[in-house]
Amino acid sequence: MSLAARRLRTRREVSLRKGMGMREKNGLRETARAARDTVLRAGAVLLGLLAVLGACGSAIFHVAFGRALYMSIVTMTTLGDSSIVARGGAEEAWVSATVLAGIVIGVAAIASLTSFRWADYFQALRREGTLRRLQQHVIVAGGGRVGRRAARELMSARRKVIVIERDPQLAEELEADGIGCVHGDATDRGTLERAGLDRSAGLIAALPDDAANLYVVSLARDLHPGLPIAARAAEVRAAELLQRAGATRVVLPEISAGRNLAAFLTRPTMVELLEDGSVEEIRVREGSRLCGKTLAQVAASGFSGTVAAVKRHGRFLPSIGGDTGIEEDDILLLVGDPERLAQELPQLIS
């Protein structure tokens, strides 16, 4: 199927879902909404019934509505009131109906409360709270083989990750693997916003369909103009469209695999460094303690790694030495022991 046909099919699917009002079942939001609706519905029915019984009681006993409402509440709850004395058939029928209504509502309420999945409800609340507090995380659109692998690599690099996956079974598998997941459609604006796109540090479009990835990239770029976005593509033409749509980096798996195989033979040491985590990359943020320091000063501060390269304004500096200064927004490539780098980097970049 051509890329144009895939894009058309994806757009039709999205339009159909929106037009019919279909929403993906979301284990987090839908569970919380169901609990809220259950409580509100029961409360509305109870208040409505009390209002009806109060009005009837007011007419039968010839008392004020407030008094009749009080009589309805104590009678329905079977607490009783010595002032309530049934003196005729209508009054006896009212008292009997009120008591029976209270018993029926009580039984229904108990059955509803015990059958509802409250554990899922409170778990949903906790997850929603965690999502709202999440900052500087990476969003992975698609929990398939590529997306799951990317999520694991990010987690091994101690990065916070949220995967968006629409397949319920895959979403459950991701959660079982300890990977944070939002069950929903990554091509939906609301799903991206709920995953915290505006607070994220990056996005990976790893859906199996090029047209869907193109839609995700375009939407994410519109919502977060400065966000770094990496995307996968199956075709060269798709890679060009993804770049035009705003992808910062596009990866074609077949081409990348070929390059990696060739690099294993031509630059085996570099490949080994990358694979065992001996190379780290950091960006010098505004206000970082690195700003204004030289490489010699960084080394003298006790940092165990070595600055192998400095990238400034999109280009690597041709040569660096101890007197090379570090500026804001520089990208440093560091080489060192993976465990020590992991311990020292948070303090280094703060």
Query: CA 43, CA 52: separation in Å to the nearest integer?
Result: 14
Q: Which pLDDT belongs to residue 114?
A: 62
Q: Which pLDDT belongs to residue 165?
A: 92
Q: Which pLDDT belongs to residue 22?
A: 39
29-115 and 134-259 agree in CATH topology:
no
Query: CA 70, CA 322: separation in Å to the nearest integer?
Result: 85
Output the CATH code of domain 268-349.
3.30.70.1450
Query: CA 251, CA 231: separation in Å to the nearest integer?
Result: 6
Helices (H), the chain: 3-19, 29-61, 65-76, 89-115, 118-133, 145-156, 168-176, 189-194, 210-223, 236-245, 253-266, 268-275, 295-300, 338-349
Fold of 134-259: Rossmann fold (3.40.50)
Parse the chain into domains and list their residue ranges: 29-115, 134-259, 268-349
Q: How is 16-36 classified by DSSP, letter by letter?
A: HHHHTT-----TTHHHHHHHH
Fold of 29-115: Helix Hairpins (1.10.287)
Q: Which pLDDT belongs to residue 107?
A: 66
Q: Per-block average pLDDT, block size 10, for the chain (350 residues)?
A: 51 45 46 65 72 72 71 65 58 69 68 61 68 86 91 87 91 87 89 89 93 93 92 90 92 82 83 74 83 87 85 89 89 83 74
User: Residue-wise over 96-122: b if at least 16 C-beta within 10 A, else e?
Assistant: eebeebbeebeeeeeeeeeeeeeebbe
Could you give the angle at the alpha carbon of 18 between the alpha carbons of 16 and 24, nearest 5°? 100
The pTM assigned to this predicted structure is 0.59
Query: CA 291, CA 285: separation in Å to the nearest integer?
Result: 8
Q: Decide: 266 and 255 in contact? Cβ < 8 Å.
A: no
